[in-house]
Amino acid sequence: MKILKLFAKIIILAVLSLLTIFFYFAKDLPRPERFTERTELYPIEIYDRTGENLLYSVGIENKIYVSLDKIPKKLILAVLTAEDKNFYNHFGIDLKAILRSLWLNFQKKELLYGGSTITQQLIRSTFLTPEKSIKRKIREIVLALELERRYSKEQILEWYLNQVPLGFNVYGVGAGAKFYFAKEVEDLSLAESATLASLIKAPSFLAKNLKSLKERRDKILAQMFKEGLISKEEFKSAIKTEIKFKFATKKKILAPHFVFFVLDQIKRKYGEEFARERGFKVRTTLNLQLQKLGEEIVKKWAKRNEIYKAYNAALVAVNPKNGDILVMVGSKDWFGKSYPEGCIPGKNCLFEPKFNVAVAKPGRQPGSAFKPIVYAKAFEKGYSDKTIVLDTLTNFGIWGGKPYIPQNYDGRFRGPVTLRQALAQSLNVPSVKVLLYLAGLKESIDLAKEMGITTLTKPYSFYGPSIVLGGGEVNLLDMIQVYSVFSQDGVKIPLRAILEIKDHKGNIIYRAKTSIGKRVISQKTAKLITDILSDNLARAGAFGLNSPLYVPEIPEKVAVKTGTTNEFRDAWTIGYTQNLVVGVWTGNNDNSPTLRAPGVLISAPIWKEFLIKAYYNLTNSEL
């Protein structure tokens, strides 16, 4: 009897707790008119560092409200198939989906999967912040339950279909039909309806990656056929239809790769809906004059580099004293066409215009551009540029299941060499010895991360000794951060793209603070690396006295390092003065090899021309 009473008390307590939680969150459910009334929205405006030059304005025009009876049944069925096939059978949440997502989150040890119904998605996108937390998830579930209690399924579905984000600042299926297909929503075909439904999952990505979009669309169509929602003939006809968008007239945009890099930061931190409601005016770090110069130089040299079968290039320039990103050219031509004609982006394109190579993760292999990190670690441990290692044929044991016997780029061995000669001439065999015997593999990778590399996330054993020769994938922006540390005598000042954000009333939402930085290597080590990388005589044995790495036009030390990966797939040049760090990558988007073109041949000329012109521009104008 006592056990039954105890059990009853536990049940009552549990019910009361659940009711308390429910009413605590349910009281915040906003008025239903919020879904239909036109909340006053404002554009998100992105400016250069002066705050006077508008780079891009994310408008507010792409929103059209359509009643449910005007939306074709095939589109509704496609959305339900893609997002919530049990919509008419649940009461706001899908318990089976939630349990499945909890299990996946437990396995991944991260809050990644939500198991969200259409009702939950509507609540989340309209009323909640983009954060991922247990508290927000509970609130989302409670509000979804209350919404379903108050309103019909048809009403909830109508609200959802009219506010769902579809990419390019398009909201709702009415605006989606106009923007992507230049049609009224009621005139959409089955293939077009399934395409819009497909975009919901990841609109920003899928709208720019048609191969992935078609794969998702065809999967949805197959599921619709399997469930008897469309006929076999309709299914066959729809999957044969290629996706061809008829985009609305494109608005003017300057520094496009940089602009979307900034917009991604804003969306992650604030959420797009919040930014649009407040009317963000974003003053960035971009120097528009230098940006135009960078775009012009990259485009010119990238055209020349086609003779070496290198079809793309990227350039980033920063002020290392404050971390300001002054220039970001993510490809040779944002407005160009993918090459070769008919290639599939993300698979076999030598060039993709809108893919930002500069910030892509996990990125590309840096080749010898990684070596200064390892030498810096060796110097931190007490070795000097006069320390001698033997440049001879060496078997470093079994790595990756086979003997590791690296060669120098020219196939020659030089015998005893100093660390200054080894780094300046980018000798491979001595560099592996520095890594394994002087600096340490784990210690070098740890230093790389501390200096700014964010992509080396696999176990240390995965990389092995080839890491010093560029065996790990990085991106250009991270490498710029690393070289900024050398430029600032060992102090890491985080890179930044945003200086200030105001709302449409002029209220300050965010203002960048001056960073004093964090010391990650000693001043002595940083100065020694700079001295070696600016020693034209020391590198002459490999590059000659008058290579593109020699910049006598600039009356101060110019430190620089190139990098070339296996089969000449990537060519890098990264160099700096005290006030400017510039990095260039050249190669092909699909990772195919160039025509044996090293960094000094195809990336260094871009780097040198930009550095010289930018240097003299910056001495006469504000950074």
Which tens digits make up the pLDDT trace of 282-303?
999 999 999 999 999 999 999 9
Task: Identify the band that residue 110 occupies on the pLDDT scale cut at 50, 70 and 90.
Answer: very low
CB atoms within 10 A of CB 580: 26
User: Which single residue is written with the structure tokens 């320390």?
Assistant: 387
Q: How far apart are CA 396 and CA 102, in angstroms?
A: 46
**Structure confidence at residue 38 (pLDDT):** 46
**Structure confidence at residue 169 (pLDDT):** 74
pLDDT at 209 over 60: yes
Q: How far apart are CA 516 and CA 299, in angstroms?
A: 36
Contact (Cβ atoms closer than 8 angstroms) between residue 154 and residue 146: no
**Structure confidence at residue 111 (pLDDT):** 42
Residue 508, strand partner residues: 502
Which is higher by pLDDT, 395 or 122? 395
Task: Identify the band that residue 4 occupies on the pLDDT scale cut at 50, 70 and 90.
Answer: low
Amino acid letter, 237: S
Identify which of 50-64, 132-146, 330-344 has the greatest average pLDDT: 330-344
Q: Residue 246 class from Cβ within 10 Å (0-12 exposed, 13-18 middle, 19+ buried)?
A: exposed
The fraction of the chain above a pLDDT of 70, given in percent, is 86
Q: pLDDT tens-digit profile of 477-535?
A: 999 999 999 999 999 999 999 999 999 899 999 999 998 999 999 999 999 999 999 99
Phi-psi region of 452 (alpha: psi -120 to 50; beta: other; left: phi over 0): left
User: Span 198-218, mean pLDDT?
Assistant: 89
* pTM (2 d.p.): 0.74
Q: How far apart are CA 545 and CA 562, in angstroms?
A: 15
Per mean pLDDT, which range of 7-16, 81-90, 179-188 is the poorest? 7-16
Which is higher by pLDDT, 416 or 346? 416
Contact (Cβ atoms closer than 8 angstroms) between residue 136 and residue 129: yes
Residue 54, strand partner residues: 47
Read off the tokens for 370: 């990684």
Contact (Cβ atoms closer than 8 angstroms) between residue 565 and residue 281: no
Phi-psi region of 254 (alpha: psi -120 to 50; beta: other; left: phi over 0): beta
Domains belonging to the chain, first-starting first, are: 64-239 (1.10.3810.10), 365-474 (3.40.710.10)
- Reduced 3-state DSSP string for 198-221: HHCCCHHHHCCCHHHHHHHHHHHH
Q: How far apart are CA 350 and CA 593, in angstroms?
A: 10
Q: pLDDT tens-digit profile of 562-615?
A: 999 999 999 999 999 999 999 999 999 999 999 999 999 999 999 999 999 999
Peptide bond into 340 cis (omega under 30): yes
Read off the tokens for 189: 């075909």
The helix/strand/coil state of 605 is: helix
Q: pLDDT tens-digit profile of 21-48?
A: 656 655 555 555 555 554 556 789 999 9
**Structure confidence at residue 112 (pLDDT):** 40
The helix/strand/coil state of 294 is: helix
